[in-house]
């Protein structure tokens, strides 16, 4: 029988990587919590319509990347490819419009069938923040400032660049879309097959094309800024002024777009050059039409998501293993006494395990290989005297410590 392996695009996460990823989530929850965000946990799978309706049949996510299947009850369901649609569905399902604004944070696995690449797998993990209700630019500033504050907390302030753009309101975006269709239609014979398809359904996506021929055309395509009405210009001006006031550095990237129609006004990405071609570590924008598209009320929204794997790879942070103490009882009576002593050590902040097999030399070897900080030895002589032999494996010092003083001894 061949050795079982994880499915392609998935992997086991443990040890230092698991600790680093947990650090990212802890930093995210602490930072978002300081902005008033509260936890929401949506199902890992939803009815397919939750994702298909907002993303559209023609989007790459729906047509190529979603894990969609029929369950045993005959329902078509999809593993979530992103968080926003599910959070907005939860907003509608639970009548959250009674308590606006809603500041919601979540994290966990997402699933996309695509070619595995550095920092991105078919099952990967995201942190996600959404603010539902406000439709004014200061809230876009708040969301971007939250993301920047998190990245700085992770030690990434000098490793990322914030690219910022405006998509305008519906009127501006419609005018821009028409201009793009006219421009690319005049060069249709030079477009890639994917971009010809997008020309009919989603022309803004052509601006994201990785095809070299498409890129040459995109370089001379019309710019969004040429089609902004006065309201859209003022909205973007206030976003930029707010970011300057909060000290968040940014670059205006006029080629940054979002292909879906419900995105409006602000779009942003924090990018890095340290992960190769796939350099986006956190991205988001305003999506004022999404909740309505899902059948809910006309409630505005702005949010972002970041890849936990990528952030953990980049982050300048300590992810040290917890300090470990290993109990080494000799005999049944010592083993029973170790239960209470182990809890004293846990109260002192240590991780405690017990090793009862083999002679003391073999146990010490295993403790050293495990990187333990302390070995706690307890045999008949120690039981009779009411002490343990405590060996500090980091310094090599060994001493006898009374049961009652064990907690203080490891703290010191």
Q: 116-171: per-residue pLDDT in tens? A: 766 568 999 999 999 999 999 999 999 999 999 999 999 999 999 999 999 999 99
When pLDDT is averaged across residues 35-54 and rounded to a whole number, the result is: 94
Among 61-75, 125-139, 384-398, which range has the highest average pLDDT? Answer: 125-139
Q: For residue 257, give the nearest of 358, 185, 176, 357 by alpha carbon.
A: 176
Give the model's pLDDT for residue 277. Answer: 59
Neighbours of 251 (CB within 10 A): 11
Cβ-contact 125, 57 below 8 angstroms: no
When pLDDT is averaged across residues 14-26 and rounded to a whole number, the result is: 93
Please give the structure tokens belonging to residue 195. 């971009």
Give the model's pLDDT for residue 54. Answer: 78
For the cut 90, the answer to whether the pLDDT of residue 251 exceeds it is yes
Give the model's pLDDT for residue 207. Answer: 86
Cβ-contact 186, 67 below 8 angstroms: no
When pLDDT is averaged across residues 220-233 and rounded to a whole number, the result is: 94
For the cut 80, the answer to whether the pLDDT of residue 230 exceeds it is yes
Q: Residue 120's Cα: distance from chain center in Å?
A: 11
User: What percent of the chain clears pLDDT 90, i.e. is strictly above it?
Assistant: 69
For residues 120, 122, 128 and 131, what is the CA-based torsion angle, rounded to 10 degrees? 120
Could you give the CA distance from residue 3 to residue 181 in angstroms, rounded to a whole number? 52
For the cut 70, the answer to whether the pLDDT of residue 276 exceeds it is no
For the cut 70, the answer to whether the pLDDT of residue 278 exceeds it is no
Could you tell me the pLDDT band of residue 55, with boundaries at 50, 70 and 90? confident
Could you give the CA distance from residue 109 to residue 214 in angstroms, rounded to a whole number? 33
Could you give the CA distance from residue 140 to residue 266 in angstroms, rounded to a whole number? 7
Q: Which pLDDT tens digit goes with each residue over 157-209?
A: 999 999 999 999 999 999 999 999 999 999 988 999 888 888 887 888 888 88
Q: For residue 332, give the nearest of 390, 380, 367, 366 by alpha carbon.
A: 380
Q: Which pLDDT tens digit goes with each residue over 91-104?
A: 999 999 998 999 99
Domain ranges of the chain: 15-169+229-314, 324-411
Q: What is the mean pLDDT of the chain?
A: 90
Give the model's pLDDT for residue 57. Answer: 58
Give the model's pLDDT for residue 152. Answer: 96
In CATH, which superfamily holds the domain spanning 15-169+229-314?
Bira Bifunctional Protein; Domain 2 (3.30.930.10)
CA distances from 158 to 40, 163, 274 (A): 31, 14, 11
Give the model's pLDDT for residue 1. Answer: 47
Its CATH class, for the domain covering 324-411, is alpha beta
Go through the chain and tell me how many residues it has.
412
Task: Tell the residue number behind the tokens 């809230």, with chain if given.
Answer: 139
Cross-strand bridge partners of residue 45? 79
Cis peptide before 101 (omega within 30 of 0): yes
Could you give the CA distance from residue 325 to residue 373 in angstroms, rounded to a whole number? 6
User: What percent of the chain clears pLDDT 70, i.e. is strictly above it?
Assistant: 94
**Secondary structure (3-state) at 365:** helix
For the cut 70, the answer to whether the pLDDT of residue 63 exceeds it is no
Q: Which uninterrupted H or E stretch holds 266?
A: strand 264-271
When pLDDT is averaged across residues 302-312 and rounded to a whole number, the result is: 95
Among 31-45, 61-75, 357-371, which range has the highest average pLDDT? Answer: 31-45
List Cβ neighbours of 376 (8 Å cut-off, separation of 6 or more): 325, 326, 327, 328, 338, 341, 345, 388, 389, 390, 391, 406
List Cβ neighbours of 384 (8 Å cut-off, separation of 6 or more): none
| Within this chain, domains 15-169+229-314 and 324-411 share the same CATH topology | no
Could you give the CA distance from residue 164 to residue 206 in angstroms, rounded to a whole number? 19
CA distances from 191 to 63, 220, 409 (A): 20, 14, 72
């Amino acid at each position: 029988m061949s050795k079982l392996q994880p499915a392609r695009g998935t992997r086991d996460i443990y040890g230092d990587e698991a600790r680093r990823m947990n650090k990212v989530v802890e930093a995210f929850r602490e930072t978002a919590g300081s902005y008033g965000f509260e936890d929401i946990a949506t199902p890992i799978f939803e009815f397919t319509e939750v994702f298909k309706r907002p993303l559209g049949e023609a989007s790459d996510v729906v047509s190529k990347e979603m894990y969609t299947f029929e369950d045993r009850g005959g329902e078509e369901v999809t593993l979530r490819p992103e968080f926003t649609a599910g959070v907005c569905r939860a907003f509608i399902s639970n009548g959250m419009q009674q308590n606006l604004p809603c500041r919601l944070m979540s994290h966990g696995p997402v699933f996309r069938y695509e070619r595995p690449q550095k920092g991105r797998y078919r099952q990967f993990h995201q942190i996600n923040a959404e603010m539902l209700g406000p439709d004014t630019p200061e809230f876009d500033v708040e969301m971007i400032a939250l993301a920047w504050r998190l990245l700085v907390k992770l030690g990434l302030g000098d490793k990322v660049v914030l690219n910022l753009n405006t998509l305008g309101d519906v009127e501006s975006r419609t005018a821009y879309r028409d201009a793009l269709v006219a421009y690319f239609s005049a060069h249709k014979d030079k477009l890639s097959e994917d971009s010809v398809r997008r020309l009919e359904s989603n022309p803004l996506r052509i601006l994201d094309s990785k095809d070299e021929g498409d890129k040459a055309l995109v370089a001379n395509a019309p710019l969004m800024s040429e089609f902004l009405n006065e309201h859209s210009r003022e909205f973007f001006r206030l976003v930029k002024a707010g970011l300057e006031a909060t000290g968040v550095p940014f670059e205006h990237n006029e080629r940054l777009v979002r292909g879906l129609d419900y995105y409006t006004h602000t779009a942003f990405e924090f990018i890095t050059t340290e992960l190769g071609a796939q350099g986006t570590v956190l991205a988001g924008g305003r999506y004022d039409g999404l909740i309505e598209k899902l059948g809910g009320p006309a409630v505005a929204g702005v949010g972002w998501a970041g890849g936990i794997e990528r952030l953990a790879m980049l982050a300048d942070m300590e992810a040290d293993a917890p300090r470990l103490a290993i109990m080494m009882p000799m005999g049944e009576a010592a083993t029973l006494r170790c239960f209470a002593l182990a809890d004293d050590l846990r109260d002192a902040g240590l991780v405690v395990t017990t090793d009862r097999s083999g002679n003391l030399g073999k146990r010490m070897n295993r403790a050293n290989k495990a990187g333990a900080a302390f070995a706690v030895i307890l045999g008949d002589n120690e039981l009779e005297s009411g002490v343990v032999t405590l060996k500090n494996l980091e310094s090599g010092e060994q001493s006898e410590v009374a049961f009652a003083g064990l907690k203080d001894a490891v703290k010191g």
